[in-house]
């Protein structure tokens, strides 16, 4: 696949596939712990494992709206109530696949189009789809780090979701 895609598009496609894979690794790992541990209050930015995954989902939905030229109804970077974990998992998996497909479908020129939008706080922003994709991959990685820490508190060790493992085990076959 990488031979068929050149330049920026190759990186964007790889990073969207990586984000989807790494999220799936972590989501599946969480299924191995008791339900009460998933929502147990912890000293973490979003308070628990489920709410942290929900934040990743909310931000992906916000940027989906920006990419589609639509408005969203979010007034915060997370929802007040945390949906059931299995719902978060299903929605995040579907949205990750949306991003994988969208990255593959866009041309180099489309990846570099400027998109104007409003941040949740009201400020204006301008980003290209390429910048949005890379932000989403980086953002999810950042918050999976918090989730890894919370899983260690359970204690539970999950499979590695590092980019190096993805490149070795998944990307060549994708």
Judged by average pLDDT, the poorest of 21-35, 62-76, 96-110, 160-174 is 160-174
State the pLDDT at residue 172: 78
Is residue 105, in this structure, part of any structural domain at all?
yes
Does the pLDDT value for residue 5 go beyond 50?
no
Is residue 2, in this structure, part of any structural domain at all?
no
pTM, to two decimals: 0.93
Structural domain of 50: 7-173
The model's confidence at residue 173, banded by pLDDT at 50, 70 and 90, is: confident
Does the pLDDT value for residue 140 go beyond 90?
yes
Q: Supply the CATH number for residue 68's domain.
A: 1.20.120.450
Is residue 157, in this structure, part of any structural domain at all?
yes
Instruction: Check if the beta carbon of residue 133 is closer than 8 Å to that of residue 17.
Output: no
Q: How many distinct structural domains can be found in the chain?
A: 1
Is residue 40, in this structure, part of any structural domain at all?
yes
Is residue 1, in this structure, part of any structural domain at all?
no
Identify which has the larger pLDDT, 172 or 72: 72
């Amino acid at each position: 696949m990488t031979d068929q895609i050149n330049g920026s598009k190759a990186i964007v496609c790889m990073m969207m596939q990586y984000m989807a894979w790494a999220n799936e690794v972590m989501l599946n790992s969480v299924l191995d712990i008791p339900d009460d541990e998933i929502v147990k209050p912890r000293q973490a930015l979003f308070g628990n494992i489920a709410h942290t995954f929900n934040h990743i989902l909310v931000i992906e939905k916000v940027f989906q709206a920006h990419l589609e030229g639509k408005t969203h109804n979010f007034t915060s970077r997370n929802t007040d109530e945390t949906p059931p974990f299995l719902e978060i998992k299903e929605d995040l998996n579907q949205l990750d696949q949306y991003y994988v497909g969208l990255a593959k479908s866009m041309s180099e020129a489309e990846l570099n189009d400027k998109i104007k939008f409003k941040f949740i706080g009201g400020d204006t922003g301008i980003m290209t789809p390429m910048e949005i994709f890379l932000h989403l991959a980086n953002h999810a990685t950042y918050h999976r780090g918090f989730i890894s820490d919370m899983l260690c508190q359970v204690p539970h060790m999950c499979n590695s979701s590092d980019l190096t493992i993805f490149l070795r085990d998944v990307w060549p076959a994708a």
